[in-house]
Amino acid sequence: MVFLRFSLRPNLQRDRSNDSFSNVVEKLFEVIPSVDLYTDSGPERCRTCAVVGNSGNLKGSHYGALIDFCDTIIRINKALTSGFEEDVGCRTTHHIMYPESAIDLNSTTHLILFPFKTLDLQWLPGAITNGSTITFGHSPIPSKINANKDLVLVLHPRFMKYVHEVWLNYQGNYPSSGFMALILALHICDEVKVFGFGPDKEGNIHHYFNSTDKILVNQTTEHSFKNEFKVIMKLSEIQKIEFYKGW
């Protein structure tokens, strides 16, 4: 798996950090473990993964038990389970976030940071210990979150670059965190089941836990949701993933 150490400065979002990138990374590794994971490929291993997006098409899907049955369950950003268990399940083994989407986790869940800028890496050590002095990026950022610092993983910026170039052919300013989570799962899982991606039956993209935040697909600017969804549908067509459309 392509987790740190870094040798490439990320440049996906406007970066306001004044600190040296190498210094930021060194400080990060004073707090979180530096290990290579998921290299145990072999015929004796079977890892089923559920990648659970936040699409409103999960409402009324009754996928909860199917999701919870998987070995690895990856959730994204501000995903909620409480109150939505019947549709989205209740287990989480890995939770992907960046500072602006950070939420509290329990002590058994892996936090996977997707750093879009150097400031994100500066935020992390304080956020999982005594509190970070960084409280604003592109939007307000929590100074502290509950997370097990021994279960923190950080995605290498090169992986984001690879997804943007190879999988999306540079469509959009950068990949969505949901799409990167799906491609990451393809690299570490034997079987990938995908839930909560794509528009609802009316063609809108919104979160299952907030039906008031509807965004028309053709109004997005940072990500190319249409192209991402085309790739997902192709992966389903050639049976590289099992795609569950919801509703």
Tokens of 194: 């995908």
Question: What number of other Cβ atoms are within 10 A of residue 30's Cβ?
Answer: 8
- The angle that helices 118-127 and 21-28 make with each other, rounded to 10 degrees, is 30
Kindly report the length of the chain: 247
Buried (b) or exposed (e) across 197-222, using 16+ Cβ within 10 A?
bbbbeeebbbbbbeeeeeeeeeeeee
Establish whether 223 is a catalytic residue: yes
Among candidate residues 156, 206, 223, 244, the one labeled active-site is 223
Establish whether 207 is a catalytic residue: no
Rg (C-alpha) for the chain, rounded Å, is: 17
* Cα distances (angstroms) measured from residue 168 to each of 164, 172, 182: 5, 8, 13
Residue 116 three-state SS: coil
Among candidate residues 174, 206, 208, 244, the one labeled active-site is 174
Q: What distance in Å separates the CA atoms of residue 203 and residue 27, rounded to the nearest whole number?
A: 44
The beta strands (E) that lie in the chain are given as 48-52, 72-76, 94-97, 110-113, 152-154, 191-195, 204-207, 210-216, 242-244
Q: Which residues are marked as active site?
A: 174, 223
